[in-house]
Amino acid sequence: MADEILHDFFPMLRVYRSGRIERLTGEDIVPPSIDSLTSVQSKDVEIEPEINLSARIYLPPNADPTKKLPLLVYYHGSGFVVGSAFSPLCHKHLILLVAQANIVAISVNYRLAPEFPLPIAFEDSWRALKWIAEGNDEWINEFADLTRVYLGGDSAGANIAHNIAMRVGSENPEGFNLQGIFLNCPAFGGEDPIGCETAEEFKKRAEFSKKLWHFICPSMKDRDEGWVNPGKDPKISGLGCGKVLVYVAGKDHLKDRGWYYKEVLSNCGWKGEIECVEVAEEDHVFSVLTPDNQVSMDMIKKVASFINKILSP
């Protein structure tokens, strides 16, 4: 008898009754390099080899150790189940951002569900941040200013960035200062549909997301847990940074989750600054999927400005 499909999350992955996992996308990788167009350098590092936790670090051209640069810690998207820090899309996106913003960046290659269900991706991402603060890499030590650290990510990676910032706020770790977070089409959810999630055109995508949340975290009670739905998190005012930039896409079923996040942070007692930008005719994580078009380049310029703007004392 043919191996029966147990979970079908096309076009991302399928799980078969035998236990076989077939990833349908996100398997391609590119090596670190010196980019021919921007001269951005990259290298790969091992953080905890025993659990296969690694990262890719990016250095802009003409980096000068006497003029240290902001550090962006980045988390890739793709539903916590596919993709990597070494994918061609993630690699190109970060090269363009590093070149535009003149920053150091490190892209974390956290472990994926279902082999490693949530909260393992969060734990890996936290380990990586602690590894950075402990001074384990020469490029970061020499060129990055750990008083100006930012977290960022797209989709699931944006969810990670938020949750790591929440942990920074609660634990106040030493060794770095988290200035802000950048969330690109953040993958948040909730039990009750909001905004465009009720629209007929988005119902299938919303149902897909619902099933995926329970698949990646079987221990989850429901999608109103604070790490999925920040609006239900009683500790949300403790977000551990002073500024937030959110991008949403007009054709994305998750867009109103981004706007809701802005509303929650603006009214919970958090003392920081948040801006949400909607790009009308684009879809989910457009700037990663099509980095060369004008709206994507405009977004990268906006993120660069956000990272380089010094917070008022």
Q: Could you give the residue numbers annotated as active site?
A: 155, 252, 284
Count of residues in the chain: 313
Q: Which residues neighbour 156 within 8 Å (Cβ) at sequence distance 6 or greater?
A: 75, 76, 77, 78, 79, 80, 121, 187
- The CA distance from 170 to 201, in Å, is 39
- What are the structure tokens assigned to 245, written together? 């930039």
Q: Which residues neighbour 271 within 8 Å (Cβ) at sequence distance 6 or greater?
A: 242
Residues 72-109 as b/e (b if ≥16 CB within 10 A, e otherwise) read bbbbbbbbbbbbbbbbebbbbbbbbbbbbbbbbbbbbb
The residue whose two tokens read 């051209």 is 61
- The CA distance from 194 to 216, in Å, is 22
The residue whose two tokens read 């977070």 is 181
Q: Which residues neighbour 233 within 8 Å (Cβ) at sequence distance 6 or greater?
A: 166, 226, 227
Phi and psi at residue 232, in whole multiples of 5°?
-105, 5
Q: Quick one: which of 64, 61, 63, 91 has its CA closest to 76? A: 91
Do the beta carbons of residue 107 and residue 90 sit within 8 Å? yes
- The CA distance from 242 to 240, in Å, is 7
